[in-house]
Structure 1
Amino acid sequence: MAEQAAGPSGTPGIRALLRSPGYGRLLLVSALVGVPVSLAAFGFVGLEHELQHWVWQSAPEALGYGRAPWWWALPALALAGLLLAPIVTRLPGRGGHTPVHGLGGPPTLPVEVPSVVLAALAALPLGVVLGPEAPLMALGSGLALLAVGRARPTASPLLAPMLGAAGSTAAISTIFGSPLVAAVLMLEAASLGGAQLTLLLLPCLLASGVGALVFTGFGHWTGLTIGALSLPTVPKASLPDAGDFLWGVPLAVAVAVVVVAGQTVGHRFAEFTAQRTGVRTVICAVLVGLCVTGYAVATGRSPEEAALSGQATLAQVAADPRAWPVGALLALVVFKGLGWGVALGSMRGGPIFPALLLGAALGVAAGGLPGLGVEAGLAAGMAASGAAATRLPVTSSVLAALLLGDQAADSLPLLIVSAVVAFLTATLVHRAAGDQAQGRPAPAGTAD
């Protein structure tokens, strides 16, 4: 009982901290913060989704094309670079952190939020091969701090990081479609334990839960869609057998190697854009456009499949995996993987969504191997790519399970094994390369 009241060094124990008036006020503020953050996130993601639809579907149709032509990504990505260059060189916050360094850094200050939003809206709808998750976390963090105004951070050094984490969790839960994934992600990334874990857990869960409630109700009321990550249709899974695991383990290794290769490219381009950032940002955007165009030329398919975050293409692959030729899936891995690597080190956005598509595509391509099957390959590929990209195997397993919906129960053993194998492989490959810059991504709300 005494250990619960006080820590080993005389600091207040978990029970005393939970009963303190200051922590109670923090929980109340966290719940209230979830409301405006979720509404702002809804507006941001909804606008990004509408702009993306206009660029890649409405505009080509207005020009007489049934779909975006093979060259469409070149002017779109060049424009993205031109719009992004002044934001990352002149505005406070420089549009947010470079995504190759992880999902987040220190809490985003309110003055930095405009550049984060502008950078995301300038780049993501035009086809930059990144997701909206990192800008959403920065948006939530900045708005959480803005909502409480001058909260006398000197009163508690933990106030700003904890409120920033709560705001980030509330915002990112909108695009993951579940407050559970967002909360697990934040907690696993924070690498905390004991009393510290509990203290961070409650504000994040409360903010994301309240935010998800408001967000869902607002979506039903307006009838607007925001393109949250989801798989409306997934192939029917069965309990994994020995063949699934025999192929699933090397598949997870291969997926991890592909993801690490993309991150390595990202670090090289982060070094490249460190000097003459404006001009080189435009050059990198054009390179991403060339990668997307290369996919369209090589396969004869729409460049939209290789552009953007990959949410829509992932849903298409999951809905009918056998309709995709193995050559198209491998081309998607190569060209989108290269574009993702360039964008990781030079653009602004999140690293998770494109990685999930790369893993799913490689898993479905391997599904024709004797004894595996596309269903098991899809599940293992998504779990492995998420774990390799984020170094968060628990979050990746939960996310993959939620995406698979009612098919997740049978696939869960394979999901977990694939995530662990990919996590270990990515860690070993990074260590073997001696690239300390590619270590564990800095969690949102902590210093880099």
Structure 2
Amino acid sequence: MTTPSDAAAPPAGRSPRETVLDPRYLRLLLLCVLLGVPVALACFFFVGLQHLLQHWVWTSLPEAAGYARPPWWWPLPALALAGLLLAPVVTRMPGGGGHLPVDGLGGAPVGPKALPGAVLAALAGLPLGVVLGPEAPLMAVGSGLALLAVRRSAPPDPEVRAVLATAGSTAAISTILGGPLVAAVLLIEGAGLAGAKLAALLLPCLLASAAGALVFTGFGDWTGLKIGALSLQDLPPRAGPDAGDFLWGVPVAALIAVLIALGRELGRSTVTWTRRNTASRTVLCATAVGGCLAVYALVTGRSPAEAALSGQAALAQLAAAPHAWSVGALLALVACKGLAWGIALGSLRGGPIFPAVLLGTATAMACSGLPGLGTTPALALGISAAASAVTGLPLAGAVLAVLLLGGDAHDQTPLIVTASVVAFLVARLMRRGRPPEQAGGAR
């Protein structure tokens, strides 16, 4: 996430109270609220268009061809087409289609010049089954629009521009995470904010994300369009964790962190490989992702759409009916989607978080048949461990799991926090010795 630790840094010696009561800062807060509205509307139409295209590719088109669901070979032409559409964007357009997802949500804000490439890259890949999420493109939309809004006015202070870009990206990602709370925690933890800096950067982002979430939700209810925010409507029966859940939960959380770390290592290797002959190798990587999805469908006899896309729909299905998936199908999902995710991290465009959450959840649910590990605790620890491992932010991972589980989270909170910390430590241990600029967490 775009969270510069020196953004809007208050003058030395100023207290948080002096910072937030400064008239210039109050005007900045008002500007961030006003920015949250157009950012939310832009994100609404972006996500709505993405879901319409996704439904057409994976539901309407197979039905028109006479298939009740996509056949096993469907991902092969779909992902090859995604690679062909994406190749000129990443090689010719400003910004290269946005940040590489293997770098997490970090990096400089996406400016107005690079915004069209980031949007085109997302719309060219995500609906066709690229195994990545929409969070990074949404953040690009938010920061790009925020900087575009102030470009024609008198050039603001660089620190103010940093705050506006961060507020725009925070407002954008809050729309897909179901509200401003997770986005705010990502901001605080990722930037290591404290004292006056916390007030200076957090308040604009909270206001912008709250305004954006309100507009995003209300506009969706008005139009009736599905926006696909990450949420779990149906959950297994509530059951509090016991000693067995904790005994199994620690090694399962460590296993999830190892799998996420291996996927990122594959992504880094893919980055190195695609630096030469980028266009052709981007197409090859996209086709390889399609091959992984086709293998999943062949091995399990299930729809390849379960392994494709960001994983939001599959996560909801898994939470609602965990026993509809055999252990073999879950392991095949982890293996095939995990391999596809690792390849996509280093070659395609999108966000890394949503697919990682599905991979962690599927891993934990496959282990839920172990004696003493319940279904609901497995779901809770899977979400928390995966989110913590992929972002490098244990508090944000735990908060995301608590919000997704809703009322069921109260009893699971100790296990959620434990799994998040264990996954964070294991992921850090596996990255030990890597240069800081390649660590890849959400900064």
Normalised to the residue count of structure 1, the TM-score between the two structures is 0.94
Instruction: Name 1:409's counterpart in structure 2.
Output: 410
User: Displacement of 1:152 after TM fit?
Assistant: 4.4
- The whole-number CA distance in structure 2 between the counterparts of 1:352 and 1:148 is 30
Instruction: Name 2:113's counterpart in structure 1.
Output: 111
The one-letter amino acid of 1:218's match is F
In structure 1, stretches of 5+ residues that fail to align are 1-6, 444-448
SS in 2 for 1:148: helix
SS in 2 for 1:225: coil
User: Displacement of 1:16 after TM fit?
Assistant: 2.2
Q: Does residue 1:28 correspond to 2:47, yes or no? A: no
SS in 2 for 1:111: coil
Cα gap change, 1:62/1:197 in structure 2, threshold over 3 Å: closer, same or farther? same
Q: Deviations over 1:299-341 (max 9, x none)?
A: 1111001100000101111001111100000000000000000
- The whole-number CA distance in structure 1 between the counterparts of 2:219 and 2:432 is 46
Cα gap change, 1:426/1:10 in structure 2, threshold over 3 Å: closer, same or farther? closer
User: Displacement of 1:441 after TM fit?
Assistant: 2.0
Is the contact between residue 20 and residue 199 of structure 2 (CA under 8 Å) also seen in structure 1? no
Cα gap change, 1:88/1:8 in structure 2, threshold over 3 Å: closer, same or farther? closer
User: Displacement of 1:195 after TM fit?
Assistant: 1.2
Is the contact between residue 10 and residue 200 of structure 2 (CA under 8 Å) also seen in structure 1? no
- The whole-number CA distance in structure 2 between the counterparts of 1:293 and 1:10 is 58
User: Displacement of 1:373 after TM fit?
Assistant: 1.5
Q: Deviations over 1:219-274 (max 9, x none)?
A: 11111111111111011232211111000000000000000000000000011111
User: Displacement of 1:161 after TM fit?
Assistant: 1.1
- The whole-number CA distance in structure 1 between the counterparts of 2:238 and 2:350 is 32
Instruction: Name 1:80's counterpart in structure 2.
Output: 82
User: Displacement of 1:435 after TM fit?
Assistant: 5.8
SS in 1 for 2:78: helix
Instruction: Name 1:264's counterpart in structure 2.
Output: 265
- The whole-number CA distance in structure 1 between the counterparts of 2:139 and 2:87 is 22
Instruction: Name 1:226's counterpart in structure 2.
Output: 227
User: Displacement of 1:200 after TM fit?
Assistant: 0.8
Instruction: Name 2:166's counterpart in structure 1.
Output: 165
Instruction: Name 2:424's counterpart in structure 1.
Output: 423
SS in 2 for 1:405: helix
Instruction: Name 2:274's counterpart in structure 1.
Output: 273
SS in 2 for 1:337: helix
Q: Does residue 1:250 correspond to 2:244, yes or no? A: no
The one-letter amino acid of 2:67's match is Y
User: Displacement of 1:370 after TM fit?
Assistant: 0.4
The one-letter amino acid of 2:361's match is A
Q: Deviations over 1:97-120 (max 9, x none)?
A: 100001131111111111111000
SS in 1 for 2:95: coil
Q: Which moved more, 1:194-203 or 1:26-35?
A: 194-203
- The whole-number CA distance in structure 1 between the counterparts of 2:170 and 2:195 is 20
Is the contact between residue 365 and residue 374 of structure 1 (CA under 8 Å) also seen in structure 2? no
SS in 1 for 2:158: coil
The one-letter amino acid of 1:78's match is A
- The whole-number CA distance in structure 1 between the counterparts of 2:161 and 2:96 is 21
User: Displacement of 1:14 after TM fit?
Assistant: 2.3
Is the contact between residue 131 and residue 308 of structure 1 (CA under 8 Å) also seen in structure 2? yes
Q: Deviations over 1:36-58 (max 9, x none)?
A: 00000000000001100100000
Normalised to the residue count of structure 2, the TM-score between the two structures is 0.96
- The whole-number CA distance in structure 2 between the counterparts of 1:362 and 1:92 is 38
Instruction: Name 2:49's counterpart in structure 1.
Output: 47
Q: Does residue 1:356 correspond to 2:342, yes or no? A: no
The one-letter amino acid of 1:322's match is H
Instruction: Name 1:299's counterpart in structure 2.
Output: 300
Is the contact between residue 14 and residue 196 of structure 2 (CA under 8 Å) also seen in structure 1? no
- The whole-number CA distance in structure 1 between the counterparts of 2:229 and 2:69 is 23
Q: Deviations over 1:397-437 (max 9, x none)?
A: 111111111111111111010000000000001116x4655
- The whole-number CA distance in structure 1 between the counterparts of 2:59 and 2:38 is 31
Q: Does residue 1:38 correspond to 2:36, yes or no? A: no
Q: Which moved more, 1:369-378 or 1:123-132?
A: 369-378
User: Displacement of 1:96 after TM fit?
Assistant: 0.2
- The whole-number CA distance in structure 1 between the counterparts of 2:294 and 2:88 is 25
Is the contact between residue 401 and residue 408 of structure 1 (CA under 8 Å) also seen in structure 2? yes
Q: Deviations over 1:164-198 (max 9, x none)?
A: 11101111111111111122112221222221111
Query: RMSD over aligned Cα, in angstroms?
Result: 1.5
Percentage identity across paired residues of the two chains: 62
Is the contact between residue 367 and residue 373 of structure 1 (CA under 8 Å) also seen in structure 2? yes
